[in-house]
Amino acid sequence: MIKKINELLKEVEEFATDSFDEAEEFRIRLLSKKGQISLLFNDFKALPPEEKKLVGQQLNTLKESALNKVNEIKQRIEEQKQQTSGSDKYPDLTLPVDFAEAGSRHPISIVRNQINGIFEKIGFVISEGPEIENDWHNFSALNFAEDHPARDMQDTFFVEKNPDVALRTHTSSVQVRVMNNQKPPIRTISPGRVFRNEAISARAHCIFHQVEGLYIDKGVSFADLKHVLDHFAREFFGPETKIRLRPSYFPFTEPSAEVDVSCPFCKGKGCNICKGTGWVEIMGCGMVDPNVLENCNIDSTVYTGYAFGMGIERITMLKYMVNDLRLYFENDLRFLRQFSSAW
């Protein structure tokens, strides 16, 4: 591999052109997803640990050199074009106007704003927090046991050399910060990006987005939770939508439930989207565990509360019938232009 890296490095150093197209072809051949440098990075994963440090440094040097070379050539060509066009002091004002295409919002942003808007109308406020969290806010305060599987490297991206710091695995960490700094009544939603150490596929990704809700006050009951979730489902999916709750388990809520909505495509009759059941799962929910309240200095003998959380990608897949999560992260204009009118 070292020999191949040196050969490509020499090729980068010797490459020269005055053609923008040739520079772009050179970039694609070396730096695209299936380019030679990208393939070397794929082979790099299989190297023994003792070789990775040296080879990794050289691979990064190669990639940086190739990027710099392509950018320098393109910038030089662009500057030459500007100097040439600058001689035309008076352009032809009779030429037709070239109207720029209207931009579009990302589908994740569209759905997140719709979800936020529904809950804001019924009194929830938006809370945000850091994406890099400590163990207390991400796990311990939320009643995760010391040996809980979510703490394992299989599920969590820990910051190197500091096992107490990790990329947050859910936006529940924001709710902990709110409970620590605000006295009840608390009514908040926490939208944001979260990270889990999972293999990337059409149905899973190591990065995704959540909206989690929290309501704490005197006399809050499971009936209140069911009512607000029923309201959300009808507002988002349509007035004919029904919900059902199935018993489940989460460390930070008790009792807990999974929430299904009647399939918005077949109206509960059964189709390939809902796998013939007529129901589609959209979120988890439950009553806040008293231990969580006490961990955040809220008297569980006085206050009760409910919490819920949903993945925005999941909701977006249902709304726009997107069957591959990876499309949300690839910045493919052919995909994104479909949402030009979705404001």
Residues 65 and 113 in one domain: no
Looking at the fold, whether 162 and 283 belong to one and the same domain comes out as: yes
**Claim to verify: residue 14 and residue 139 sit in the same structural domain:** no
Phi, psi (deg, nearest 5) at residue 45: -65, -25
Claim to verify: residue 80 and residue 111 sit in the same structural domain: no
Answer yes or no: do 33 and 162 share one domain: no
Contact of 171 with 190, CB cutoff 8 Å: yes
Residues 257 and 331 both lie in one domain: yes
Residues in the chain: 343
pLDDT at 318: 87
Q: Evaluate whether residue 97 is within a structural domain.
A: no
pLDDT score at 272: 78
Residue 91 domain flag = no
96 in a structural domain: no
Q: What is the CATH number of the domain that holds 155?
A: 3.30.930.10
Q: What pTM value is reported for the model?
A: 0.67
Q: How confident is the model at residue 91 (pLDDT cuts 50, 70, 90)?
A: low
Q: Are residues 121 and 81 in the same domain?
A: no
Counting the structural domains of the chain, the total is 2
Let me know whether 81 and 127 are in one domain: no
Alpha helices in the chain (DSSP H): 2-14, 20-31, 36-44, 49-85, 107-120, 135-138, 172-181, 222-237, 290-295, 312-320, 333-336
Domain co-membership, 14 together with 48: yes
Average pLDDT score, the chain: 87
Residue 17, in any domain of the structure: yes
Higher pLDDT, 150 or 301: 301
- Residue 102: inside a domain: no
**Residues 105-137: pLDDT tens digits?**
899 999 999 999 999 999 999 999 999 999 888
pLDDT tens digits, one per residue of 197-217: 888 887 778 899 999 999 999
- What integer pLDDT is reported at residue 154 of this predicted model? 56
Q: Is residue 95 part of a domain?
A: no
State residue 305's pLDDT score.
Answer: 97
- Within this chain, do residues 46 and 121 fall inside the same structural domain, yes or no? no
Q: What per-residue confidence (pLDDT) applies to 151?
A: 62
Q: What's the burial of 261, exposed, middle or buried (CB within 10 Å: 0-12/13-18/19+)?
A: buried
What are all long-range contacts of 177-182, with beta carbons under 8 Å and residues at least 24 apart?
177/127, 177/129, 177/137, 178/127, 178/214, 179/214, 179/216, 179/292, 179/293, 179/296, 179/297, 179/298, 180/296, 180/297
Of residues 188 and 41, more confidence is placed in 188
Print the domain residue range for 335. 107-339
SS3 of the chain: helix, strand, coil, percent, to 5: 45, 20, 40
Q: Of 24, 50, 85, which closes a domain?
A: 85
Does one domain contain both 51 and 115? no
Do 136 and 36 belong to one domain? no
